[in-house]
C-alpha cells in the first residue's frame, strides 16, 4: 500500500494516465494529475476524491521545460516530496507515414513523447536523489520495444528512445535509490484509437487492452519494494493485432 506517498501522473486527464492515477489513489497515494485540459483533469480529480481518496490537478504542458520545472516546484511546495512519477503524456498523428511526415509533425511527436519525458524526469531527480527514493514509470509502447508498422516512424523512434532513456536511468540512478520502468503496452482501447487514419472495427477494439489493465500494471510496479526495479514490462492483448494484423492495419 502507498499511504503517505506522493504520485505525479502526466497525461492524467484520460486513458492510461487516468487509470494509473485511479489505481495509485486506490492504493493510498496522494495523486497529482497533470495535462493541458483543465476540464478533464478536474473530472479525474472529482472521481478520485469522490471515491474517498486524495488528488489534485496541476495543469501544464510537458513540452514546456520551464513550465515543468515550475510545476514540480509547486508540487514540492505543497507536498514536500515526490515518490512516484508516471509519464503517460503522449501523442501520435493520423498522417504518420513517411510520405506525409513533415519536420513539424515529427517535432511535435518527439516533443511530447520523448522530450516531455526527459523534462519531467529532469525536474524530479534532484528531490528523489536527496531522499534516496523514487520510482519513475515511463509509458512507452509495444512499438518502443518491437518494430510496428501501425504506429509510424516518428512515434516508434520516440518510444524506442523512451525505453533506452529508462534503462539508462536505472544504470545511473539505481545507486541513488531510484528505479525506473519502461511500460510497453500493445493496443489499448483509449480515445486515441478513434483518431487513427483508419479506426479499427468495434469487435477488435473490444479485444484490446483496457486502460484499467495498465492502471493495475502501474500499481503493481509502484508497490514493489524499493530494492526491486522492474526495468521493462511488455504487455499485449491476448489477441495481438500488431502481430496477426487486422482490417485497418494495412500498408497504404
Q: What average pLDDT does the chain have? A: 95
Q: Is 155 a catalytic residue?
A: yes
CATH number at residue 44: 3.40.50.720
Query: pTM of the entire structure?
Result: 0.96
214 located within any domain: yes
Q: Answer whether residue 194 is part of any domain.
A: yes
- pLDDT above 90 coverage of the chain, percent: 89
Q: Is residue 104 part of a domain?
A: yes
Domain assignment of residue 186, yes or no? yes
More confident residue, 151 or 252: 151
CA distance 17 to 35: 10
Decide if pLDDT at 246 tops 80.
no
Flag whether pLDDT at 2 surpasses 70. Answer: yes
Give the pLDDT score at 251: 64
Question: pLDDT tens digits, residue range 89-117?
Answer: 999 988 889 998 999 999 999 999 999 99
234 in a structural domain = yes
pLDDT at 198 over 90: no
- Residue 51 lies inside a defined structural domain of this protein: yes
Q: How many domains does the chain have?
A: 1
In a domain, 252, yes or no: no
Q: Of 119, 146, 155, 239, which residue is the catalytic one?
A: 155
CA 52 – CA 151 distance, rounded (Å): 38
- Structural domain harbouring 224: 6-238
Given a cut of 80, whether residue 248 has pLDDT beyond it is no
Burial class of residue 186 in the structure, from the number of CB atoms within 10 Å of its CB (0-12 exposed, 13-18 middle, 19+ buried)? buried
**For residue 251, is it within any domain?**
no
pLDDT in tens, 24-81: 999 999 999 999 999 999 999 999 999 999 999 999 999 999 999 999 999 999 999 9
Amino acid at each position: 500500500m502507498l499511504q503517505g506517498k506522493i504520485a505525479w501522473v502526466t497525461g492524467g486527464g484520460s486513458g492510461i494516465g487516468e487509470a494509473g492515477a485511479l489505481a495509485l489513489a486506490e492504493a493510498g497515494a496522494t495523486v497529482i494529475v497533470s495535462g493541458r485540459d483543465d476540464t478533464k483533469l478536474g473530472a479525474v480529480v472529482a472521481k478520485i476524491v469522490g471515491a474517498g481518496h486524495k488528488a489534485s490537478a496541476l495543469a501544464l504542458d510537458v513540452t514546456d521545460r520551464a513550465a515543468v520545472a515550475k510545476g514540480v516546484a509547486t508540487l514540492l511546495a505543497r507536498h514536500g516530496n515526490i515518490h512516484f512519477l508516471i509519464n503517460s503524456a503522449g501523442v501520435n498523428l493520423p498522417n504518420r507515414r513517411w510520405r506525409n511526415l513533415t519536420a513539424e509533425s515529427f517535432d511535435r511527436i518527439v516533443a511530447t513523447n520523448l522530450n516531455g519525458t526527459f523534462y519531467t524526469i529532469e525536474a524530479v531527480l534532484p528531490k528523489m536523489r536527496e531522499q534516496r527514493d523514487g520510482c519513475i514509470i515511463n509509458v512507452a509502447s509495444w512499438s518502443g520495444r518491437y518494430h510496428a508498422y501501425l504506429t509510424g516512424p516518428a512515434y516508434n523512434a520516440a518510444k524506442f528512445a523512451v525505453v533506452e532513456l529508462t534503462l539508462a536511468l536505472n544504470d545511473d540512478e539505481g545507486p541513488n535509490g531510484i528505479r525506473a520502468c519502461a511500460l510497453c503496452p500493445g493496443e489499448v482501447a483509449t480515445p486515441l484509437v478513434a483518431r487513427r487514419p483508419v479506426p479499427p472495427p468495434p469487435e477488435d477494439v473490444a479485444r484490446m487492452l483496457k486502460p484499467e489493465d495498465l492502471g493495475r500494471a502501474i500499481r503493481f510496479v509502484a508497490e514493489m519494494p524499493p530494492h526491486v526495479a522492474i526495468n521493462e514490462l511488455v504487455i499485449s492483448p491476448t489477441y495481438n493485432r500488431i502481430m496477426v494484423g487486422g482490417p485497418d492495419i494495412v500498408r497504404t
